[in-house]
């Protein structure tokens, strides 16, 4: 079991730069014959929509999906060549197309009509999406069937924003599920696909804990930490975030925070620390998270880590973790 990270209460101000939805997924791939963790961070704010693609010690790129709310400013299909200094200067090429992409309501992550691809030495090594023919036509790549299979998703971290109800739609155990978190009157309810799976009462005493629930007959460990919410209820600050983990099997790999997610957490931490300058290093989810993740990595052989380097142990353990940050809004 992984102890849940928690910190002192923090706030989010009403701003066009505060994400409406922010999702980070980490995939296990081979990049130029080297095992790599590939992180995709989808971010949507009131006036922007972006994707940050990141591979530790290799590259990072941010793609603007919808730089404006006006449809005629949407981006065209794109591509970019990148030389990997840690891979003997091998060249990879990224391809993407979000011109006709469908998104679920209030979600930063696409549902259909898109593609993201990475090739190395004219060989396709990563593909996500459903426009295989479009990619082949534009790139000239020969799409091997094994590469077109859905890539291995190790973990997913999502920031959701609301008042008393928070919704996430995540794919695990072979299908897509709607996860609902409701917190009112000192009672926490967990719903999966509209059905109540767990009710936790007296949160003032049970603000942290873990229970087992079942999704399609499969055991899922649910871990929660609503210390921020309980603490803020006793102060004038009504904001803060709850932390919820849904863990299947041995769990997945914990992706480090980059791009807009890193900026969000830095803003949150700066509200705690005051005007002192924040370090430019990779952020952990909260002040206590780095030690918690380090403990999890050292005490478990399941492969859970913060993956700050692509040279960590490689190989899927069949686990998956969904980590939700539920932020209270004014």
The angle formed by the CA atoms of residues 159, 223 and 184, to the nearest 5 degrees, is 70
Q: Residue 227 above 80 pLDDT?
A: yes
pLDDT digits (tens, 9 = 90+) for 55-94: 988 899 999 886 544 555 556 889 999 988 776 678 899 9
pLDDT for 234 equals 54
Taking the C-alpha atoms of residue 102 and residue 110, their distance in angstroms, rounded to an integer, is 6
The angle formed by the CA atoms of residues 160, 12 and 294, to the nearest 5 degrees, is 65
pLDDT for 123 equals 87
pLDDT digits (tens, 9 = 90+) for 102-136: 988 878 999 999 999 999 888 888 999 999 889 88
**DSSP helix/strand/coil, 128:** strand
Other Cβ atoms closer than 10 A to 156: 23
Q: Residue 224 above 50 pLDDT?
A: yes
pLDDT digits (tens, 9 = 90+) for 283-314: 444 433 433 333 333 334 443 444 443 333 33
pLDDT digits (tens, 9 = 90+) for 9-60: 344 544 545 678 899 999 999 888 888 899 999 998 888 889 999 998 889 9
pLDDT for 282 equals 41
DSSP assignment string, 201-264: --TTT-SEEEEEEEETTEEEEEEEE-HHHHHHHTSS---EEEEEEEEETT--PPPPB-HHHHHH
- Residue 217 pLDDT class (50, 70, 90 cuts): confident
Question: Whole-number mean pLDDT of the chain?
Answer: 76
Taking the C-alpha atoms of residue 317 and residue 249, their distance in angstroms, rounded to an integer, is 8
Q: Residue 250 above 90 pLDDT?
A: no
**DSSP helix/strand/coil, 52:** strand
pTM score of the predicted model: 0.78
The length of the chain in residues reads 330
Tell me the CA end-to-end span of the chain in Å, nearest whole number: 33
- Residue 235 pLDDT class (50, 70, 90 cuts): low
> What does the CA dihedral 133, 139, 142, 143 come to, rounded to 10 degrees?
-50
pLDDT for 313 equals 35
Residue 5: Cβ-neighbour burial (10 angstroms; 0-12, 13-18, 19+) = buried
Other Cβ atoms closer than 10 A to 294: 13
pLDDT for 1 equals 39
Taking the C-alpha atoms of residue 166 and residue 20, their distance in angstroms, rounded to an integer, is 12
Q: Can you give the three-state secondary structure of 56-83, one letter per residue?
A: CCCEEEEEECCCCCCHHHCCCCEEEEEE
Residue bearing the bigger pLDDT, 313 or 246:
246
pLDDT digits (tens, 9 = 90+) for 146-162: 556 678 899 999 999 88
């Amino acid at each position: 079991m992984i102890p849940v990270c928690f910190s002192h209460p923090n706030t989010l101000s009403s701003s066009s730069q505060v994400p409406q939805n922010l999702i980070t997924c980490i995939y296990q791939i081979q990049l130029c014959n080297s095992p790599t963790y590939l992180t995709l961070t989808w971010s949507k704010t009131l006036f922007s929509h972006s994707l940050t693609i990141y591979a530790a010690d290799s590259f990072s790129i941010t793609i603007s999906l919808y730089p404006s709310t006006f449809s005629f400013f949407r981006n065209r299909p794109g591509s970019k060549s990148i030389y990997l200094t840690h891979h003997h200067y091998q060249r990879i090429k990224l391809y993407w197309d979000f011109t006709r992409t469908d998104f679920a309501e209030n979600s930063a992550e696409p549902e259909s009509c898109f593609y993201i691809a990475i090739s190395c030495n004219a060989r396709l090594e990563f593909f996500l999406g459903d426009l295989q023919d479009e990619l082949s036509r534009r790139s000239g790549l020969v799409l091997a069937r094994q590469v077109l299979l859905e890539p291995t998703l190790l973990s997913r971290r999502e920031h959701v924003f609301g008042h008393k109800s928070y919704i996430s739609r995540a794919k695990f155990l072979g299908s897509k599920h709607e996860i609902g978190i409701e917190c009112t009157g000192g009672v926490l309810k967990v719903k999966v696909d509209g059905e109540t799976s767990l009710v936790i009462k007296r949160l003032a005493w049970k603000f942290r804990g873990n229970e087992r629930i079942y999704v399609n007959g499969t055991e899922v460990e649910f871990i929660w930490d609503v210390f921020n919410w309980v603490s803020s209820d006793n102060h004038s600050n009504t904001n803060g975030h709850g932390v919820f983990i849904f863990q299947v099997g041995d769990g997945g790999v914990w992706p480090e925070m980059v791009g807009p997610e890193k900026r969000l957490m830095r803003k949150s931490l700066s509200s705690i620390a005051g005007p002192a300058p924040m370090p430019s290093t990779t952020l952990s989810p909260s002040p206590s998270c780095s030690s918690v993740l380090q403990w999890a990595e050292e005490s478990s052989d399941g492969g859970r880590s913060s993956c700050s380097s692509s040279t960590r142990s490689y190989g899927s353990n069949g686990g998956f973790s969904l980590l939700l940050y539920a932020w209270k809004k004014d």
